[in-house]
Amino acid sequence: MLIKHVHKKEKVEDNKINLKAVMLINIIFFLIVWSFFGKRIEQQYYGYIPVDSRKSGLEMIQNNSGELVVNTVQKHSPGEVGGIKAGDIIVGINGELITSPDLAAQRLDTLNKGEILEIVLNRDGRKITAYISNKNHMTINRASKSQELSFTARLFVMIICVKLTLVMFYLIYKNIINRMYIVLTFAAHMLLVGLIFGVYNVVDAFFAIKFNTISLLLGMGIISIVLDEAGVFDYVAYKMNKFAKGSTMKILVLCCFVTYIFSLLVNNLTTILVIVPMTLNLALLADFDPKPVIIGEIISSNLGGASTMVGDFPNMLISAETNVTFNDFIFFMMPICLILFGVLLIYLKLTTEKMDMKMKIDVPKGKKINKAQKPEFTPKEWKAIRRAVFVLIHVIFLFSISPRLSLQPSAIALFGGLSLFLFSGINRTSIYNRIGFNDILFFVGLFIMVGGIEASGLIHYISQGIAFLSLGKPWFLCLILMWSAAFVTSILSAGPTTAFFFPIVAGVAIAPSHHIIWWSLSLGVLAGSSSTIVGATSGPVATGLVENFCSLYRINLKDGNTILYSQFTKIGIPIMFLFLGISSIYILWLYAKLS
């Protein structure tokens, strides 16, 4: 079993650099270079001219009638992002009547960080409202090519993109084949449509890939693999088994707590791959139903992943593509996630008290179940553990001070991963074979798909629609995004939902300050991924581990040898609504306190 540390001589011997190692090193070097120069290259390709985000970018003149008319709008400025066009007549700003260019300039050219201005305009005799803000991330109009098409052609392209997206997500939901092949196939079709209509080409698709996010996934993934290969997780599992002493409730709380702690720094998938086999082993020893515990572990891993910058894909994407820092996640996300974790434990305690957790597992006659043995480490393994822990501590420290160093977190993660790949003493082939390249390619294809949707102009219209539904209220906008992201995540899982919602959120002009809109998205994805077995990335993996374990040991669990969709939703759906309710109160409190 997983918690029994099996020594393999080849695991700790340092191999020579082979072809696979060379390929991985080259990929890492490319990603490191891209983390430093990627945005600059992208800006030059799209003709992006850096602007002073403290200024609106509007040049105004007063006509003969005394009206204040927008003469020019600087490209990529807050004014252009907010939808203001040359020829618009400015009537008022934040409820104040504007009567002179000097007064307008005073209001428009002193935008504080995160500040939002509500501007009432007269456009061709129609009264409209625009919102501009000092955004903290680069905004490039990727739909500029589609805007050159006629309305009919643009609408046709958007309809095709919607159809491709819906069919792709349906196939992912049905899990007919590996999701990587599905996404890459549809990404190729999206690119073909873009080439035919001239709105999306190969270079656009390349720049649509969020390489900084991929870098975080790869770098932290290597660190996780080395920790696992060295036996750190096995040792923790053994200690848990020894501490629990057969108490079902103690096992439940302990498993969820350890899962949460692991998920703060290790991706959810790795955490579940470690924790679930250990839980199944404990179930054999203590004779209890492991399914409620495993469901609690999946939700706990979601909470741990949402608490930090590197715990799960949604936060990795947010941190890599905006200027949200490691400390921001600790300060704003960890407190609410700890509250939600407490709510989860209380709910699980109340729920499991009504269940008959004690269960006789049907083990075939003559089948022997071994108790967990204390892991024993060789000197080489201890050396690998010390190096892995040393690197992890320094990576976390550098994350916390990265804003002062002007260093991308993605580069920090890659340097940490590369150092362990080369010098941990763990067999490099073992590390390479365990890297989740399928997941990386899945997200690459997903980014290309979302880039095509953005190039069609559909994302822009969705952003405007959400802003319209929010009635111009930033706090209401945050709640709409949170709840809609939760329901979409419950069907599509966290990764695809975050990748799809990211450009929508980035394109909204009325986002409140202090990254509240990003916390709303992260909390919404967290709630949705805790509701269904397919919502969490680790859900299907945990189900597979249960099935394989039962098959390997030829045992039969109560209510079947798998985690049914209905079994998960019985716990997950109430948890989702509890999380959404508490998170909504938290977001409203943040908005009232900080805005």
Helical (H) or strand (E) element with 97 = strand 96-97
Distance separating alpha carbons of residues 579 and 587, to the nearest angstrom: 12
**Backbone Cα Rg of the chain:** 26
CB count within 10 Å of CB 471 equals: 9
Which residue do the tokens 């992943």 mark? 305
Q: What are phi and psi of 60, to 5 degrees?
A: -120, 150
Of 248-252, 417-421, 493-497, which has the strongest mean pLDDT? 417-421
Percentage with pLDDT > 70 across the chain: 85
Which residue do the tokens 């003493």 mark? 425
Considering the chain, tell me which residue range(s) the CATH 2.30.42.10 domain(s) occupy. Answer: 58-133
- The pLDDT value recorded for residue 315 is 86
| 215, 38 contact by CB (below 8 A) | no
Closest by CA position to 318, among listed 578, 521, 53: 521
**pLDDT, tens only, 139-153:** 566 666 776 778 888
Q: Which two tokens stand for residue 294?
A: 């495993």
- Give me the amino acid identity at 462: I
Q: Which CATH superfamily is domain 58-133 in?
A: PDZ domain (2.30.42.10)
| 526, 338 contact by CB (below 8 A) | no
| Partners of 288 in beta bridges | 358
Nearest-5° angle of CA 78, CA 83, CA 84? 80
Closest by CA position to 530, among listed 561, 494, 501: 494
- Mean pLDDT in the chain? 80
Is the pLDDT assigned to residue 46 strictly greater than 50?
Answer: yes
Indicate the length of the chain as a whole number.
Answer: 595
- The pLDDT value recorded for residue 76 is 64
Distance separating alpha carbons of residues 305 and 316, to the nearest angstrom: 10
Mean pLDDT calculated for residue range 377-394: 86
| pTM listed for this prediction | 0.72
Strand 58-62 vs strand 89-93: parallel, antiparallel, or unpaired?
Answer: unpaired
Please tell me whether residue 337 adopts helix, strand or coil conformation.
helix
**pLDDT, tens only, 418-477:** 999 988 888 888 888 888 788 788 888 888 988 888 888 887 788 778 777 878 788 898
Distance separating alpha carbons of residues 411 and 33, to the nearest angstrom: 8
- The pLDDT value recorded for residue 119 is 81
- What are the DSSP E strand ranges found in 385-431? none
Mean pLDDT calculated for residue range 127-133: 74
Which region among 135-144, 251-260, 582-591 has the lowest average model confidence (pLDDT)?
Answer: 135-144
| 515, 324 contact by CB (below 8 A) | yes
- The pLDDT value recorded for residue 368 is 47
**pLDDT, tens only, 85-124:** 888 888 887 777 776 777 777 766 666 655 667 788 888 8
Indicate the Cα dihedral angle 78, 587, 459, 409, nearest 10°. 80
